[in-house]
């Protein structure tokens, strides 16, 4: 993969030395170490924020709601009629 995007990061010298030491211990370049660590954390954050976990009871209620035919109420029907007249 050819890298075409750049990410600049400012940090204090102590933090950089610590990260550099960890990269050396792994035997990888500093940039590769930082990239891999940041990508792992990004995956962790996205999984935590974008995953919905339901209990068994919540799952049953959710699936039942999906199986139940939708019945619009009077306000929605009125809004649909109003929207249809605007489109014409």
Residue 27 gets which letter from DSSP?
Answer: T
Write 42-46 long-range contacts (CB < 8 A, 24+): none
Could you give the dihedral angle defined by the CA atoms of residues 43, 5, 10 and 50, in that order, rounded to the nearest 10 degrees? -20
Cα 12–13–18 angle (5° rounding)?
A: 105
In the chain, domain spans: 13-87
Q: What is the pLDDT of residue 2?
A: 79
pLDDT tens track for 20-48:
999 999 999 999 999 999 999 999 999 99
Mean pLDDT in residue range 1-22 = 92
Q: What is the pLDDT of residue 1?
A: 67
Of the CA atoms within 13 Å of residue 88, those in its CB half-sphere come to 5
Mean pLDDT in residue range 70-88 = 91
- Record the pTM: 0.61
Mean pLDDT in residue range 66-76 = 94
């Amino acid at each position: 993969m050819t890298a075409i995007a750049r990410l600049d990061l400012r940090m204090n010298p102590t933090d950089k030395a610590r990260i550099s030491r960890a990269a050396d211990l792994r035997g990888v370049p500093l940039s590769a170490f930082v990239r891999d660590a940041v990508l792992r954390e990004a995956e962790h954050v996205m999984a935590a924020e974008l995953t919905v976990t339901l209990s068994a009871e919540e799952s049953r209620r959710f699936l039942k709601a999906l199986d139940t035919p939708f019945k619009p109420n009077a306000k929605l029907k009125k809004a649909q009629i109003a929207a249809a007249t605007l489109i014409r």
